[in-house]
């Protein structure tokens, strides 16, 4: 359990996503019942996101405006999504978690066709998002998915920020980690009240994930953008295809 936390913490710190999204399938593969597998990674995600976000915040690699709008838009929908998980079948939730990872992996591996602005000398790009309603609508939908599948939302937000908003991988990771830290709180509380968290599992998971995410975030800031996007997509896609195959087989 601790080693699984270390592996997932490395991905979480590097890419700003994948804490609960990877944690749930891994716990399910280890034989943990679906409701517990869905929610038990959340207590580890909160401190991991805060520590990793601090690294990106100190480097100034995040969009404060988008992060603020995202938190305001997604907190209500993440609670609704968490409550909906009570009435949705466990097998469906596990398959949905795997299916979401497949979609995200494919979208991240496929090169973007949209033109980006404000290219910097190092080849990275960032486009300012001026449409507040677009941010609110997109992130509110992401919050609903995050609550339903008991994730911090990063697995949805990072591709959204990169593909739709034109963020660099580092800026997407930094912004996602700040939002994920905020969204994990209502998601965690709601699933805790629903009785979906095994604190022994959560503690062992956090023991590996928290320090690993902090260390990986320092590395992620130095990685070239052209490497992070396809690497993230490939990791997500390969893992998700394996997980979905095991669930269907």
Whole-model pTM above 0.75?
Answer: no
CA 99 to chain centre: 14
Nearest CA-CA partner of 236 in 5, 1, 12: 12
The Cα-based distances of 185 to 4, 74, 118, 153 in angstroms read 22, 12, 34, 12
pLDDT digits (tens, 9 = 90+) for 172-218: 888 888 888 888 888 888 888 888 889 998 999 889 888 888 888 77
pLDDT tens, 115-153?
444 444 333 444 455 567 777 888 888 788 777 777 766
Q: Residue 187: name the closest of 33, 6, 27, 49 by CA.
A: 49
Alpha-helix residue ranges (DSSP H) falling in the chain: 2-15, 19-29, 34-39, 42-58, 64-84, 90-109, 132-148, 154-159, 169-193, 199-220, 225-248
């Amino acid at each position: 359990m601790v080693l699984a936390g270390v592996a997932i913490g490395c991905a979480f710190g590097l890419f700003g996503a994948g804490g609960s999204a990877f944690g749930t399938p891994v716990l399910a593969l280890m034989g943990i019942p679906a409701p517990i597998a869905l929610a038990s990674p959340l207590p580890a995600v909160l401190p991991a996101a805060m520590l990793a976000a601090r690294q990106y915040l100190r480097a100034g690699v995040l969009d404060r405006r988008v992060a603020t709008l995202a938190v305001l838009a997604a907190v209500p929908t993440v609670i609704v999504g968490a409550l909906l998980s009570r009435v949705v079948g466990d097998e469906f939730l596990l398959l949905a978690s795997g299916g979401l990872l497949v979609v995200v992996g494919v979208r991240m591996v496929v090169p973007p066709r949209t033109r980006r602005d404000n290219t910097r000398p190092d080849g990275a790009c960032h486009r300012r998002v001026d449409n507040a309603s677009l941010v609110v609508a997109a992130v509110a939908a992401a919050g609903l998915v995050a609550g339903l599948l008991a994730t911090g939302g990063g697995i949805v937000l990072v591709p959204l920020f990169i593909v739709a908003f034109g963020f660099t991988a580092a800026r997407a990771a930094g912004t996602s980690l700040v939002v994920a830290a905020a969204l994990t709180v209502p998601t965690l509380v709601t699933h805790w009240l629903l009785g979906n968290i095994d604190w022994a599992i959560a503690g062992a998971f956090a023991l590996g994930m928290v320090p690993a995410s902090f260390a990986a975030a320092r590395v992620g800031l130095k990685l070239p953008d052209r490497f992070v996007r396809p690497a993230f997509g490939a990791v997500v896609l390969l893992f998700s295809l394996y997980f979905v195959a095991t669930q269907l087989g």
